Structure 1
Amino acid sequence: MAICPPRRGNRKGVVEKANHSAAQRWWRTVPDALTVEQAQSGVDKLAVRMDERRRSVDGVRVTVAQLAAGEPMLALPTLPFPAELEAVRTVSPQALVSFDGNLYSVPPGMPGAQVTVRHRLGEDYLHIVTAGKAVVARHRLAPSGAGHKVRDSGHVIALERAVLAQVSDRAPCKTKTRRPLSEAALAEAERLRGRAVGTGPAERVVINLDTYAAVADRLRTAPTPEEEPGE
């Protein structure tokens, strides 16, 4: 009896039960010092005994070996199990997404957005999906950790257009251009000067040092309260 994966149309798990007995009950009784040859001889003897056991399937008495012969193993799959690897990433300002040591492009206008990178095992492509389950990019998978920037030509063209749309084709502003004052500006300046003469707070304040000196002299010659004559 060969220990094998499940067979097509296995009725009532007879073959699987035999495999289970060989893998569990017999294996647990094998001594640690047993050689490989001795172990193989022991499992072969167990297989013969178990193959000759009779079972009743649909009212018919058959052996385990007869059931196994009528149930061939399934063919090996041509593709690996369709498992998918998913990773949540943030789009950079350059419209790039990092995954497995490489950078992959997405359409412009998505900086800071959360996207999911999906790679099915065995495939040469990966997909970048938005939160709304919309596929926005599909790229050929670059070697792991290669540091490549994988860009779609459509994404490159769209990014260039988005950048150029923000650039103006107008002539640059002229700086440090010195122009003479116009007649209107000169007239307004004269009007403001005439209004300011004698009317502003600074113009009304008169600083005369002689006045301060006269006040100081009076204060020095004025009698103190003790020198004043009493009543």
Structure 2
Amino acid sequence: MLTRENDVEVHALHNRGWTISAIARHTGHDRKTIRAYLNGERTPGQRKKPAEDPFAPFLDYVTARLIEDPHLWSRTLCDELEDLGYTQSYPTLTRQIRVRGLRPRCVDCAQVTERANAVIEHPPGEETQWDWLELPNPPDEWGWGSTALLLVGSLSHSGRWRGYLAPDMTRPQVIAGIDRITRRLGGVTKTWRFDRMATVCHPATGALTAEFAGVAKYYGASVAICPPRRGNRKGVVEKSNHTAAQRWWRTVPDEVTVEQAQASCDKFCRTRSDVRMRRTRDGRSNVATIAKREPLSAPPAAPYPATVTEMRKVSRQALVAWKGNQYSVPPELAMSEVVVSERLGDRHINIATASGMVIARHRLAPAGAGAQVRDHGHVVALDALAQAGASSSRRPHRRKERIPPGQAAREAAAVLRRTTTPPEQASVIDLSVYERAAQNRTHLP
């Protein structure tokens, strides 16, 4: 097949007096092909149809399969056809499906994207939308693996939103995030809207769990669960997720701590998101101004009494990092794993071993203050242990040092030689051997 560009070149060369053979050698095509295009027997850009269509025997099967399953992969269909004797290539199959229009339009899926959407009213103070946002590639120092999580809460009327960084989606983290975000949004709306997250409801039925029902009653908010496959019902928080991922998370540097990243998220919301201009009935106002006018209920004086628990590693100085501060533990636990638990609303944290034994309890310092909270007993024990190690006569080995086998090793080697070396054979002298040798010798050497 010649393209239109090749066809123009062939005709130009022919007009200059080139022979068909010369044009064929120059373009790398067969002479019969060049002659057919010069005589107008073939159309540039169109392949010559074979006398028999090799795809025709498989047309009925492909049509039936794609009617049954409009989303069937062409690669899967090609596997089925190869078992039925199909010898053409996979690109040929996809081209035939595309050219012949064999893949039907899925009516069930089209109604999701093409159906009419009603305009959803969001009265002031009516609804807060909640959603989890997965953030890839957090800094390695956080120790959260390959994904960090951001709980986002957004006021449906004004669009004001706040986020809460968390290592997992457990119920205590959800409760801690809801309390923190609610206080930074200015209060509690009448309704909280969630998708079917397992910490709030049963995903299969949408029924509220007994544990989260107590949380909703504590804050005085009703809970609305989105119907399945209705993401547009909470479009306000979905847009906030998009903004958080593209405008904030993409710019977070590698060397920040969790607390610094949380502070930068709060700053972004105040300085960037809250200054967005929105149309109102009274004209244009920014998000912060509209949010202040929303009639929100005051949150409870104390957070819901949930306990947030996380695993942490003790440093060599017997300190445990927690929310931007460090808390001491007995020096015997240095470089080991401990469990830190904080009950929301309580001003203390408990540090326990992996088996659950509480070995330290400290008063909480302000988050991100960089304070070191150390128990006097822990300080004394750590100093004593460090001095004992420094005054010890034992020293680490140098890389190049001569250390010959000691007395115990030499004694063990002697035992091994006695048990593994075979006894020496006694020498037996037979004089008859020498006599025979002398009799057979006939001349001096």
TM-score normalised by the chain length of structure 1: 0.39
Q: Which has the higher contact order (CA 8 A, sep 6+)?
A: 1
Q: Which structure shows the higher helix fraction?
A: 2
Question: In terms of Rg, which structure is larger?
Answer: 1
TM-score normalised by the chain length of structure 2: 0.21
